[in-house]
Structure 1
């Protein structure tokens, strides 16, 4: 006779204990407490109200947590998408030394049209018609392209 190995405890899925008390668990505890209370010494009204207030606060905090998580998610939009509105615009920036990355003295302002936005190490990079690439923090001015020429 062979015993089915699926009956062994070691083969059963393990449930990880959680220190988080959710809305459902709180309600289950409260209902179990009400069901199992001593009928000759019922739960005090003030204690019941305090527990319901705690439950309401828990629910509000969970809703606030969800709202904050959604806000954080919305703030972490890709830099490429965040700066895509600049494509086709003209940007002005100081001419930089290609080796050191420092502003060349006397300061010379270069203007070129944005042809694309890319991303490098989490930062938006503006690709220009003059084949230069600059970071968004180098932009001095953004304008619509001159069509009067």
Structure 2
């Protein structure tokens, strides 16, 4: 007795469905659906070997761990960026010295701090703007 597999369950149809919605990547839910479908429709006389099943589960576990790690690292980077910006704001009202391109030192009082992408820019009393990484001395 032959079991016929519903054509909607084929992997090629699954990727077409996800790509039409704008997402061409399979996620962990799709992986589990495919694995369950494989288990449900395996041949009773030739079932999936334990090694294959364990290998696929290990791949799934690795995928899930990498996804979680990526999410955690993204949150950490965002948190560090915000923390750096907030700590730099303590320079407002303080005098800073920095090295100019002519390798001489200049100084001025910080009036504002702004973030431009990953850079933190200090707005100074004399109208200049400098990158916070150029600062060599801070005084009150």
Q: Structure 1 or 2: larger helix share?
A: 2
Instruction: Say yes or no: TM over 0.5.
Output: yes
Q: 1:110 to 1:53 in 2, by over 3 A?
A: closer
For residue 65 of structure 1, report the CA deviation from its aligned partner: 1.9
Q: Which moved more, 1:37-46 or 1:134-143?
A: 134-143
Alignment of 1:40-119 (within 5 A): 40-74=45-79, 76-77=81-82, 81=86, 83-93=88-98, 103=102, 111-118=107-114
**Are 2:128 and 1:133 aligned?**
yes
For residue 29 of structure 1, report the CA deviation from its aligned partner: 0.5
Q: For the pair shown, which has the larger CA radius of gyration, 1 or 2? A: 1
**RMSD after superposition:** 3.3
TM-score normalised according to structure 2 size? 0.64
* Structure 1 unmatched ranges of 5 or more: 1-13, 97-101
The total of aligned residue pairs comes to 120
* Structure 2 unmatched ranges of 5 or more: 1-18
**Are 2:120 and 1:142 aligned?**
no
CA contact (8 A) 1:79 1:119 kept: no
Structure 1: distance between partners of 2:26 and 2:127? 55
By relative contact order (CA 8 Å, sep 6+), the higher-ranking structure is 1
**Are 2:21 and 1:21 aligned?**
no
CA contact (8 A) 2:108 2:124 kept: no
